[in-house]
Amino acid sequence: MSFITVYCHIDENSCSVNGETVLQKNEESSDSWFKQLYKDLAIEYPKFYKMDMLSQAGFIGSELIKRANPDLISNYNDDEIALLFANSESSADTDIRFKESYLDKKTPSPSLFVYTLPNIVLGEIAIRNKWFGENMFAVLPKFTPDFFVQYGMVLLTTGSKAVLAGWLGILEGRVEVFLFLVETESNKGEPFDIENIIKYAGF
């Protein structure tokens, strides 16, 4: 049986793990909200500053999940953790910024161009953690819990022992991030089913 063992949320103003608020946005800070979270986590990973918002969201969410489950790295081989992400905007937030860079500023930005595919976030998380398991990024009309259950179970029955999954809604200032960890070898958490995903997602 599979269980949801950890979950986290990030919106425009706050961040929570397992339902407990861990940080509120400081409106007086000159840093972006994701940079505030990055600094609060005290991570040393300079590449974070080069990422687009979608990748920063997935990166921060994955770090929060790891903090809440310190044994995640040691419990699994590097090919036993799968990544399963989705949203309804693809990489539109970065696409818009890239379009502005060449239409308005007349200088296409290579640093933005490399993030004009949504699945780049999967690569960033995999590189950071040296995870080589299966990965999938889907673009869906809306948040769809049964997609995560159906595809997640495929992953868990074909070699993966854990799935880091989530919804990364990032578009022009709107932040709707929900990540959760599913594990097969665990005696804690709630069953991995549609009802519990809906309950934890809250939207």
pLDDT of 64: 98
Average pLDDT, rounded, for the chain: 94
Alpha-carbon gap, residue 10 to 194, rounded angstroms? 21
For residue 45, which of 34, 24, 110, 157 has the smallest C-alpha distance? 34
23 forms beta bridges with 15
pLDDT of 7: 99
Average pLDDT value for residue range 55-69:
97
For residue 164, which of 125, 124, 114, 113 has the smallest C-alpha distance? 125
Alpha-carbon gap, residue 19 to 146, rounded angstroms? 22
| pLDDT over 80 (residue 102) | no
Read off the DSSP letter of residue 189.
S
Alpha-carbon gap, residue 129 to 196, rounded angstroms? 27
Contact 98, 108 (CB under 8 A): yes
Q: What is the pLDDT of residues 153-164, one digit of tens each?
A: 999 999 999 999
CATH of domain 3-91+122-201: 3.40.47.10
Q: What is the pLDDT of residues 126-163, one digit of tens each?
A: 999 999 999 999 999 999 999 999 999 999 999 999 99
Alpha-carbon gap, residue 93 to 52, rounded angstroms? 9
pLDDT of 112: 76
